[in-house]
């Protein structure tokens, strides 16, 4: 039977090359040589997941449990483990180093053994049983095997392999019948069938089985595994939004013309091509391809010229045609999966199941008896004003395994839906809507919301709630259709942004009505206009080591502002940032802070307050976490201010001013 050691060796080879084609070939060759059931296991694990997307099981093995197991097997102490982690920036590699001389030399673990061990770990309850099982597994592993067992358990393989590359390798390993007539050059083009099957099934093991049988085209949608979320590209001004949207729409229309030309040429001997309407009157035209590669193909100068000659308006008029405006909500992006006789499920962008944190949503959505996948945003909601509460209110609901009834009542939530990816439809015929243009998906979404939103006004608390007399939760629809407005002028975009901020939302979304839904893709078809609230000049007071590849550098910076009214403690912390600097800047600052350390606490250092940074952020919140009484939301470093002395950094009064004047002032945060 195939050994896990061979899987580990493959991953070492994958990590040693940066060439995508070489990685794909390594994976393809390895999978082809395995029995199908083992190829399925390996394909899944190469993507970095111990279980399939559609499988709700989790290992629940944290760093503390892993550290205990490694320290026990390697007969070492936490300090040595910490030093090894700092050296490699990877707990798997650190474990392999420490386990040499304490682990078997000859491999015995098979892929099937590892699968059985993962199953047992997922079923075990409590840290003690999990630790015993983890020790049993690692005790059978060579250092090289332990390295990748731990990496797989933590979901951090660090081989430069994404799921999409595994899907490509599957397509290369088992070309489908439709690909058998391709030329040599065409056969190197990885078929889209493997990617689509993976998206539909949510299980790479099933994809391998279908690919090996030449039946990828038979893949059908499996609900209750998160699809990738389509993402928006940020813009900082209405002028930039119009310019970038102009580029996108012109490319779409020219590409549509190019596709028509190709189709006409393909019809050999055809004297009359298909009738077409004038492009300026059909904004619903979809891009020529959505299944493979970028949504917008490169447009030749001839095609662009034809687009102009055939009635495509010139910029800036084209930038406000064929798109809609939506508010950009300040909540948690979520994907809702629904099916009769199945508990509704909510998934986050990082594919976590959010259902347990929002039981009133899943209770109310259980009243929907139509299968569907909806894309939206979870918001804390004020039913009296029909407006969203600030994100700081929603934070109280996150990460809870049990939500108290009082909290459900005090911070009710809704799901604002703005897209629909799949539905059964009134005829009961399943429809995957990803390749439909947004205009068509919006019609489906409006129909779905009109039919089912009223049914979500009632929640059905679990049986335990009925044992106690508690005030009833307010009854109002928990599924709310996002407002969408057709954009007609550039001036309208500016006003829409101001209106959205007044409603307490982050900004506006601009979406092409022609755009398909492309899971995991960030392009110009969706733009988000979200201006930064302000910037502050702050001084760094504390630094700490990062994680992963930043484990050996001081990359997380706690910073403060001045409080002129408190001479005893003039510097008061207001936040922490870890993004915005280059690797070289971080390396230089690591050396700087080591030489200006006041107190070394191992992972965290208090440093001399002499380095000034300019930071941007989205909001200011009240908070008891910092001495200033405030916290910056989503702070990011814009630049190092070597030109500014600490005496000129911003003050607590300035922070209070920003907090008071921001249009969507958050509620106080007590955590």
Unique residue bearing structure tokens 């397509």: 171
In sequence order, what are the residues at sequence separation of 6 or more whose Cβ sits closer than 8 angstroms to the Cβ of residue 612?
537, 538, 539, 540, 640, 641, 642, 644, 645, 646, 649
Name the nearest CA neighbour of 625 among 662, 578, 573.
573
State how far the Cα of 425 lies from the Cα of 556, in Å rounded to an integer: 49
Name the nearest CA neighbour of 561 among 578, 550, 575, 548.
575
State how far the Cα of 218 lies from the Cα of 3, in Å rounded to an integer: 31
Q: Which residues of 289-305 are buried (b: 16+ CB within 10 A; e: fewer)?
A: bbeeeebbbebeeebbe
State how far the Cα of 224 lies from the Cα of 152, in Å rounded to an integer: 23
Gyration radius (Cα) of the chain, Å: 28
Name the nearest CA neighbour of 347 among 565, 53, 111.
53
Which DSSP letter does residue 469 get?
Answer: -
Name the nearest CA neighbour of 596 among 641, 563, 560, 554.
554
State how far the Cα of 273 lies from the Cα of 403, in Å rounded to an integer: 62
CB atoms within 10 A of CB 425: 16
Question: Residue 346 is encoded by which pair of tokens?
Answer: 């909510």
Report whether the peptide linkage leading into residue 316 is cis, meaning its omega lies within 30 degrees of zero: yes
Classify 662 in phi/psi space as left (phi over 0), alpha (psi -120 to 50) or beta.
Answer: beta
Active-site residue 528, yes or no?
Answer: no
Strands (E), 169-246: 231-235
Residues present in the chain in total: 671
Q: What are the distances in angstroms from CA 45 to CA 159, 207, 360, 469, 585?
A: 12, 13, 35, 48, 35
Q: Is 220 helix (H, G, I), strand (E, B) or coil?
A: coil
Candidate list 196, 328, 572, 576, residue with the active-site label: 328
Question: Residue 152 is encoded by which pair of tokens?
Answer: 């797989």
Round to the nearest angstrom and report the end-to-end CA distance of the chain. 53
Question: Angle at which helices 127-139 and 111-123 pack, to 10 degrees?
Answer: 170
Beta-strand relationship, 479-481 and 413-423: parallel
Q: In the beta sheet, which residues pair with residue 539?
A: 560, 612
Half-sphere exposure of 626 (CA within 13 A, CB side): 26
Name the nearest CA neighbour of 493 among 516, 509, 477.
509
Q: What are the distances in angstroms from CA 283 to CA 221, 239, 241, 321, 486?
A: 29, 21, 18, 7, 12
Q: What are the distances in angstroms from CA 670 to CA 235, 404, 519, 630?
A: 33, 17, 37, 11
Instruction: Give catalytic residues, as residue numbers.
Output: 328
């Amino acid at each position: 039977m195939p050994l896990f050691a061979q899987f580990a060796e493959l991953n070492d080879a994958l990590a040693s090359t940066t060439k995508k084609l070489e990685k794909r070939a390594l994976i393809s060759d390895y999978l082809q040589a395995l029995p199908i059931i083992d190829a399925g296991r390996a394909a899944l694990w190469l993507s970095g997941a111990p279980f399939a997307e559609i499988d709700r099981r989790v290992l629940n093995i944290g760093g503390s449990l892993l550290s205990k197991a490694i320290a026990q097997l390697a007969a070492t102490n936490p300090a040595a483990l910490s030093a090894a982690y700092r050296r490699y920036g990877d707990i798997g590699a650190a474990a392999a180093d420490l386990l040499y001389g304490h682990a078997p030399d000859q491999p015995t673990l098979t892929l099937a053994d590892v699968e059985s061990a993962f199953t047992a770990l997922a079923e075990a309850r409590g840290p003690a049983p999990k630790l015993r099982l983890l020790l049993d597994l690692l005790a059978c592993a060579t250092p090289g095997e332990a390295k990748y067992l731990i990496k797989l358990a933590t979901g951090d393989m660090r081989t430069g392999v994404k799921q999409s590359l595994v899907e490509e390798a599957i397509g290369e390993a088992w070309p489908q019948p439709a690909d058998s007539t391709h030329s040599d050059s065409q056969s190197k083009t990885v078929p889209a069938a493997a990617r689509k099957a993976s998206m539909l099934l949510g299980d790479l093991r099933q994809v391998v089985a279908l690919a090996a049988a030449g039946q990828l085209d038979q893949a059908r949608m499996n609900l209750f595994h998160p699809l990738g979320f389509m993402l928006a590209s940020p813009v900082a001004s209405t002028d930039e939004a119009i310019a970038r949207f102009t580029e996108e729409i012109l490319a779409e229309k020219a590409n549509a013309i190019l596709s028509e030309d190709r189709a006409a040429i393909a019809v050999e001997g055809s004297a009359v091509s298909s009738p077409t309407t004038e492009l300026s009157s059909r904004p619903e035209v979809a891009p020529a391809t959505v299944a493979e590669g970028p949504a917008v193909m490169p447009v030749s100068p001839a095609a662009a010229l034809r687009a102009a000659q055939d009635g495509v308006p010139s910029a800036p008029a084209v930038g406000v045609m064929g798109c809609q405006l939506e508010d950009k909500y300040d909540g948690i992006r979520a994907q809702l999966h629904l099916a009769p006789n199945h508990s509704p499920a909510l998934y986050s962008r990082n594919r976590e199941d959010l259902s347990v944190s929002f039981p009133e949503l899943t209770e109310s959505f259980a009243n929907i008896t139509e299968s569907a996948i909806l894309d939206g945003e979870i918001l804390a909601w004020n039913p009296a004003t029909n407006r969203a509460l600030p994100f700081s209110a929603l934070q109280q609901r996150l990460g809870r395994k049990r939500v108290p009834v009082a909290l459900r009542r005090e911070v009710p939530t809704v799901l604002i839906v703005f897209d629909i990816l799949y539905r059964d439809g009134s005829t009961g015929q399943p429809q995957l809507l990803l390749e439909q243009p947004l205009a068509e998906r919006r019609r489906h979404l409006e129909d779905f919301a009109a039919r089912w939103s009223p049914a979500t006004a009632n929640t059905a608390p679990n049986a335990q709630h009925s044992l106690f007399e508690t005030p009833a939760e307010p009854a109002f629809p928990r599924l709310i259709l996002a407002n969408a407005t057709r954009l007609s002028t550039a001036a309208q975009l500016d006003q829409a942004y101001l209106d959205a901020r007044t409603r307490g939302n982050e900004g506006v979304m601009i979406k092409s009505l022609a755009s398909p839904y492309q899971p995991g893709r960030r392009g110009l078809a969706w733009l988000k206009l979200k201006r930064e609230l302000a910037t502050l000049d702050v001084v760094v007071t504390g630094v700490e080591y990062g994680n992963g590849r930043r484990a050996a550098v001081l990359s997380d910076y706690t910073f403060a502002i001045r409080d002129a009214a408190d001479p005893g403690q003039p510097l008061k912390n207001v936040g922490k940032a870890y993004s915005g600097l280059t690797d070289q800047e971080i390396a230089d600052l690591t050396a700087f802070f080591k030489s200006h350390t006041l107190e070394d606490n191992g992972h965290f250092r208090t440093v001399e307050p002499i380095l000034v940074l300019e930071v941007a952020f989205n909001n200011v919140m009240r908070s008891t976490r910092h001495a200033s009484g405030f916290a910056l939301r989503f702070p990011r470093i814009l630049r190092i201010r070597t030109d500014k002395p600490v005496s000129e950094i911003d003050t607590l009064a300035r922070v209070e001013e920003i907090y008071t004047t921001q249009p969507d002032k958050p509620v106080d945060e007590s955590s």
